[in-house]
Structure 1
Amino acid sequence: MLKKLLSKPKSKKKKEAASSALPTLDRLHETLEILEKKECFLQKKASAEVERAKDYTKAKNKSAAIQCLKKKKLYETQIEQLSNFQLRVHDQIIMLESAKATTDTVDALRSGSSAVKAIHQSVSIDDIENAIEEANEQTENMRQIQEALATPIGASADFDEDELEAELEDLEEEELDNELPEPPQRTSMEPSARAITSQKPTNDLAELTKLQAEMAL
């Protein structure tokens, strides 16, 4: 059934029927409004006959009161007919609105299907693969360009990397020496290590001379 609904109209009459849905709905709503107005008018007439019958009853005019009630019955019969007419019009409005909603839904589904089909026809798997391949090629070209730009040329290409690293190590050692704390300064009263060292051989020589003199005795 859904396949039949989605199928394209085979005749021009179907298209014309679909396009005439709105005018038909407008006509049905106008008819319904007219019927409602007539019903309201007849209800007022029936109520008026009831009031007249009451007046004739008070006046002891039984025959006139009965005639008023007969008219009221006629009005009520017409009101009932108008109510039935309104129900039929309501039924037609509901059916037509439902049919129009179905048609609109089918048209929307058909349009969506056609759009998807057009997209599929315009884009194939080969197009996607070619686009991906082209993107990869452009990426590789950009990488090669960046590598070429990063390669040193001219005077900078003749630098010795080992020599530069050795110079860098010397700079690091020099910086480390500068960061070490300086030794505390000596006061004038403290003897230097060189003075103590220079005095020690002199004392040893004096002791040796003294020992030789004692052995000669």
Structure 2
Amino acid sequence: MLKKLLPKTKSKKKKEAASSALPTLDQLHETLEMLEKKERFLQKKSSAEIEKAKDYTKAKNKNAAIQCLKKKKLYETQIEQLSNFQLRVHDQIIMLESAKATTDTVDALRSGSSAVKAIQNSLNIDDIENAIDEANEQTENMKQIQEALTTPVGALADFDEDELEAELEDLEEEELDEELPEAPVGISVPVQQAAKGTSSSKQASDLTELTKLQAEMAL
């Protein structure tokens, strides 16, 4: 029972220390600001005593000038003490900020680890395999749906692909024939054109004989 209570107590102390870090840092910064203001004030006092000492020296008042220099020395001693105080406060601020950063980092890592454990505990290998199987099944179903949508139906399904291919080849041959240049003069024409010329000559000859026969009958 005591072992169970000890970790909670330590954790509680860590949280309390972390929560008190911010107010302590604020207090240290305020103290540092106060020390800096006092230092600036004493530096002005010291500078003023130097100016007074110069004026007394010009006025041949040696004792008054020495008194001003003594005050300046006192101010300089206080300024040195304030500088040491500021260094100590700076050191505390740095140490506390570093400790707070370390605590925050550990807390973040601990929270991340707890989150990962919670996710791992919520999953098991069977759930993962089932999810993968469902995804594969849905993918296969989608493929079948797409294939069904692209399959020709109705009038489109009755078309003969071979017949369409043959018709396309005929169209390509006709287009190729139209693109061929005409044969130059003196070069034999294709057989088809020659046959066409022979047929025209025969028709002309038959027309001539018919005209001649009609003239003889008229006589």
TM-score by length of structure 1 reads: 0.63
How far the C-alpha of 1:45 sits from its partner, in A, is: 0.8
Structure 2 counterparts to residues 28-43 of structure 1, below 5 A: 28-43=28-43
Structure 2 counterparts to residues 14-29 of structure 1, below 5 A: 14-29=14-29
| Unmatched segments (≥5 aa) in structure 2 | 1-6, 178-189, 204-219
Residue 82 of structure 1 aligns with an amino acid whose one-letter code is L
Tell me: CA distance 1:147–1:53, structure 2 relative to 1, closer, same or farther (3 Å): closer
Question: What's the secondary structure of 1:34's corresponding residue?
Answer: helix
Structure 2 counterparts to residues 52-201 of structure 1, below 5 A: 52-140=52-140, 184=194, 185-186=197-198, 187-189=200-202
Q: Match of 1:197? A: none
Distance of 2:55 and 2:170 partners within structure 1: 131
How far the C-alpha of 1:41 sits from its partner, in A, is: 0.6
More displaced stretch, 138-147 vs 17-26: 138-147
How far the C-alpha of 1:115 sits from its partner, in A, is: 2.1
What is the alpha-carbon root mean square deviation over aligned residues? 4.1
How far the C-alpha of 1:142 sits from its partner, in A, is: 5.6
Residue 87 of structure 2 aligns with an amino acid whose one-letter code is L
| Unmatched segments (≥5 aa) in structure 1 | 1-6, 154-158, 191-217
Tell me: CA distance 1:42–1:148, structure 2 relative to 1, closer, same or farther (3 Å): closer
How far the C-alpha of 1:118 sits from its partner, in A, is: 2.1
Residue 57 of structure 1 aligns with an amino acid whose one-letter code is T
Distance of 1:70 and 1:99 partners within structure 2: 44
Distance of 1:95 and 1:67 partners within structure 2: 43
Distance of 1:16 and 1:112 partners within structure 2: 21
Distance of 2:32 and 2:73 partners within structure 1: 23
Distance of 1:46 and 1:146 partners within structure 2: 92
Question: What's the secondary structure of 1:60's corresponding residue?
Answer: coil
How many pairs does the alignment contain? 181
More displaced stretch, 114-123 vs 15-24: 114-123
TM-score by length of structure 2 reads: 0.63
Distance of 1:151 and 1:56 partners within structure 2: 113
- Do the aligned residues in 2 keep the contact of 1:28 with 1:93 (CA within 8 Å)? yes
